[in-house]
Amino acid sequence: MKDDKISRFPIPEINSLPDDIKSRILEVQEKSGFIPNVFLALAHRPDEFRAFFSYHDALMNKESGLSKGEREMIVVATSGLNSCIYCVVAHGAILRIREKNSLIADQIATNYRKANISERQLAMLDFAVKVSRDANEYQRKIHKL
């Protein structure tokens, strides 16, 4: 085990991991140039690692009315609202790649209403932020429908 203290949990050596997890981590490292800490922090529990990333993939990679970049916009905006710097940085990096825009992640994280985005994307982020602020309010409104 490494001595790096990115987590209170043990961080396994890459070569000690099951092949599917090792492959996924190395693929991310090749694309991004580094291994995000969340991969290493979860890797000591292979079943949980697989479940987490299966859920992530279902949300972020499934074809839908939102582009992959727009989904990352939602994560960055709501992570900024929730003061999750790790998520802002990690998903901001992905957003910059997906949108081919070096400024978009910082704009959305700090004040998405002033970001250079479409009216549709602004409405999308307004809704996501409102739900993130008060999910119960929107649950009541949906129930009325």
Whether residue 75 is found in the same domain as residue 56: no
Whether residue 43 is found in the same domain as residue 95: no
Mark residue 7 as left, alpha or beta (left: phi above 0; alpha: psi -120 to 50; beta: remaining).
beta
Residue 137's pLDDT is what? 74
For residue 5, the 8-state DSSP code is: -
Whether residue 34 is found in the same domain as residue 80: no
Residue 128 and residue 92: Cα distance in Å, rounded? 16
CB 33 within 8 A of CB 23: no
Maximum Cα interatomic distance, the chain, rounded to a whole number of Å:
54
Examine residue 7 and state whether it is found in any structural domain, yes or no: no
Chunked into runs of 10 residues, the chain (145 residues) has average pLDDT values of: 64 92 94 85 93 93 92 97 92 93 95 96 95 80 68
Whether residue 44 is found in the same domain as residue 75: no
Residue 9's pLDDT is what? 77
Query: pTM, whole model, 2 decimals?
Result: 0.80
Whether residue 56 is found in the same domain as residue 72: no
Examine residue 8 and state whether it is found in any structural domain, yes or no: no
Examine residue 5 and state whether it is found in any structural domain, yes or no: no
Examine residue 86 and state whether it is found in any structural domain, yes or no: yes
**Domain membership of residue 32 as a residue range:** 14-60
Residue 103's pLDDT is what? 96
Examine residue 56 and state whether it is found in any structural domain, yes or no: yes
Whether residue 137 is found in the same domain as residue 83: yes
Neighbours of 82 (CB within 10 A): 12
Examine residue 34 and state whether it is found in any structural domain, yes or no: yes
End-to-end CA distance of the chain: 53
Whether residue 139 is found in the same domain as residue 72: yes
Residue 11's pLDDT is what? 84
Residue 56's pLDDT is what? 92
Examine residue 1 and state whether it is found in any structural domain, yes or no: no
Whether residue 81 is found in the same domain as residue 134: yes
Domain count within the chain: 2
Whether residue 35 is found in the same domain as residue 94: no
Q: How many residues in the chain?
A: 145
